[in-house]
Amino acid sequence: MSTEWTSEELALLWRHNNEQVAEITGRTVEEVGDRRLQANYMRNNWHLFDPERKPCA
């Protein structure tokens, strides 16, 4: 079970790749990748706009 991410850990996602963040935080690369995907989902509004969905005519 993973623990909550701190704001400091989340900031690392902007400056480092997944392997580096995993090494710095002690989390697994898979956990970092999942959290990065979640951050991208919210930052890019994928919950409002699905870039893979075809527009309705």
Number of domains present in the structure of the chain: 1
The answer to whether residue 26 sits within a structural domain is yes
What is the pTM assigned to this prediction?
A: 0.75
The answer to whether residue 55 sits within a structural domain is no
- The domain of 38 spans 7-43
The answer to whether residue 21 sits within a structural domain is yes
pLDDT of residue 22: 98
Query: What average pLDDT does the segment 35-43 reach?
Result: 90
Rounded Cα distance, 1 and 23, in Å: 18
The answer to whether residue 53 sits within a structural domain is no
The answer to whether residue 12 sits within a structural domain is yes
The one-letter amino acid at 37: L
Tokens of 4: 């909550």
What's the pLDDT tens digit per position in 2-31?
689 999 999 999 999 999 999 999 999 999
